[in-house]
């Protein structure tokens, strides 16, 4: 993101988020499923996953949502507040792979002059294979001295 001479915080349509590569381990998949109390065997038990037609255990949707949120907030910083997160899992995420996160700003909308709503499209890839496509809408202060989106009155929060 850019800070201009006028003190605005100005992501622009077309800005690319820096790529993030995460090594997906068996421990990460199992820990994510356990933390979200997801006891489905395909997230913990390789034999059960293979019986279900998978090649190994797979990452659950809650862990993917957490990693996508991390990716966006690593870029926006702590002042960014996620309002909406949508994603489609197209292929399973298996252990022992490097998943590449990439994204770009596709929309920036003003609110009341205090908040900018930013929409980012994100992809998770394993090599050339698209695993998950996501869209995140989050709030940022429109300029440096604007109120924080974390201090919005509920009536002003319109994700």
Q: What are 115-149's pLDDT values in tens digits? A: 889 999 999 999 999 999 999 999 998 877 788 88
Structural domain includes residue 87: yes
User: Are the beta carbons of 69 and 85 closer than 8 angstroms?
Assistant: yes
Range of the domain at 109: 16-151
pLDDT for res 61: 96
Q: Tell which residue, 30, 19, 20, has the closest CA to residue 95.
A: 30
Question: From CA 119, how far away is CA 104, in angstroms rounded?
Answer: 9
pTM of the model: 0.89
**pLDDT above 90: residue 7:** no
Q: Is residue 48 a part of any domain in this protein?
A: yes
6 pLDDT higher than 60: no
pLDDT in the model for residue 111 = 62
Residue of 151 and 112 predicted with greater confidence: 151
In a domain, 8, yes or no: no
Confidence of residue 3 (pLDDT cuts 50, 70, 90): very low
Question: For 22-79, how does the pLDDT look when each residue is reduced to its tens digit (9 = 90+)?
Answer: 999 999 999 999 999 878 888 888 999 999 999 999 999 999 999 999 999 999 988 9
Alpha-carbon torsion 132, 125, 24, 103, what sign? negative
Contacts of 51 by beta carbon, 8 Å cutoff, 6+ apart:
none
- Judge whether 74 lies within some domain: yes
**Domains held by the chain: number:** 1
Alpha helices in 20-157 (DSSP H): 26-35, 46-51, 61-76
Which CATH number do you get for residue 21?
A: 3.10.129.10
| Any domain includes 90 | yes
């Amino acid at each position: 993101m850019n800070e201009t001479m006028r003190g605005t915080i100005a992501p622009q349509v077309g800005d690319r988020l820096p790529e993030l590569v995460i090594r997906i381990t068996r421990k990460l998949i199992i820990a994510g499923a356990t933390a979200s109390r997801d006891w489905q065997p395909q997230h913990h038990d390789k034999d059960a996953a293979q019986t279900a037609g998978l090649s190994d255990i797979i990452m659950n949707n809650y862990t993917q949502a957490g990693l996508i949120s991390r990716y966006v907030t690593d870029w926006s910083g702590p002042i960014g507040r996620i309002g909406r997160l949508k994603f489609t899992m197209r292929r399973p995420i298996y252990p022992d792979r490097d998943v590449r996160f990439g994204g770009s700003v596709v929309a920036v909308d003003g609110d009341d002059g205090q908040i900018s709503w930013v929409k980012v499209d994100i992809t998770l890839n394993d090599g050339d294979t698209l695993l998950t496509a996501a869209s995140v809408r989050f709030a940022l202060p429109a300029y440096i001295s604007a109120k924080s989106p974390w201090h919005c009155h509920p009536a002003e929060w319109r994700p």
